[in-house]
Amino acid sequence: MVRRLSGEEVAVGQLLDLVQEIVTDYALFRILHDGRVGDVGLNALPGIGGFGQTAEGGTGAVEALTDPMRLGDIILRTRELLHEGDPTGGCERACYECLRTFRNQFIHHLLDRTLVLPALQALEALEVNPVQQPSAGLSFEELEAQCQSDFEREVLAAIRDRGLPLPDEAQKTIYDGDEPIATVDFFYAPRILVFVDGSPHYRDYIQAADTRKRRRLKALGYRVVVVMAENPEAGLSDLAARVGG
């Protein structure tokens, strides 16, 4: 969230929409790819309608803008692009150095840099605060009710207490086509499988079956995390590295 001088909180995405709406795609593309603020992974799409996120992993502009220093630099560069502080005074409303392009000439009469400058100036002193989005998956209580052992419940509680995202499902059967391969204790979409191995899994024949199944799951592109009763910390650390936290 961004807090304006008035105290009003505005989502970073809404700020991006505000600048995009008034400044147009081309101008914002120039700002966000400016070498002084660094590329935040946007590609302007044809027309004036929107942007495509191109950063690997789905990060893109909004994540980059959650860095207070980065966001401040972008706002400052935007104001400079709109001729704030220009010793010549800049253009009256819009010119080819700020907003006008050949592509948007049909709306040249609508462009006015003075409309957005006050809003950007009001953001000079801003704060960026992370907001944790509520999970769309099952609640802790729903996942706990599906656990089949005390150790599974302990692992689920440890995941929660570490601040890690909760699994999307519990006791999910994974298939290869129509053939079931294994039932995983916890599942993170799209492809993270968490196996909670209590004492029964120490038997030789069960370990051999587990190894075959998990090797096959890995061959299908799943990422397998194993939390073992003898050393749960190692498995939880592996999970944290994969899901964040």
Domain spans, the chain: 2-121, 140-243
Q: Which residue has the tokens 């196996």?
A: 195
Distance of alpha carbon 99 from alpha carbon 28, whole angstroms: 9
Do 2 and 126 meet the contact criterion of CB atoms below 8 Å apart?
yes
Distance of alpha carbon 34 from alpha carbon 51, whole angstroms: 16
The pLDDT of residue 124 is 76
Q: Between 3.40.960, 2.30.29, 3.30.1330, 3.30.70, what CATH number should domain 140-243 receive?
A: 3.40.960
Do 29 and 16 meet the contact criterion of CB atoms below 8 Å apart?
no
The pLDDT of residue 132 is 52
> What's the pLDDT tens digit per position in 19-55?
545 454 555 555 555 544 444 443 333 333 333 344 4
Residue 70 has pLDDT above 80, yes or no: no
Across all residues in the chain, what is the average pLDDT? Answer: 77
Residue 56 has pLDDT above 60, yes or no: no
Distance of alpha carbon 138 from alpha carbon 202, whole angstroms: 30
Q: What tokens does 132 get?
A: 């944790």
Q: Among the ranges 65-79, 119-133, 202-216, which has the highest mean pLDDT value?
A: 202-216
Which H helix or E strand runs over 53? Answer: strand 51-53
Distance of alpha carbon 108 from alpha carbon 47, whole angstroms: 14
> What's the pLDDT tens digit per position in 121-157?
888 777 766 555 555 578 999 999 999 999 999 999 9
More confident residue, 227 or 204: 227
Average pLDDT, integer, range 210-223? 94
Distance of alpha carbon 195 from alpha carbon 211, whole angstroms: 12
Residue 219 has pLDDT above 70, yes or no: yes
* DSSP strand pairing (223-228 vs 2-3): unpaired
Q: What is the pTM of this model?
A: 0.47
Distance of alpha carbon 219 from alpha carbon 9, whole angstroms: 47
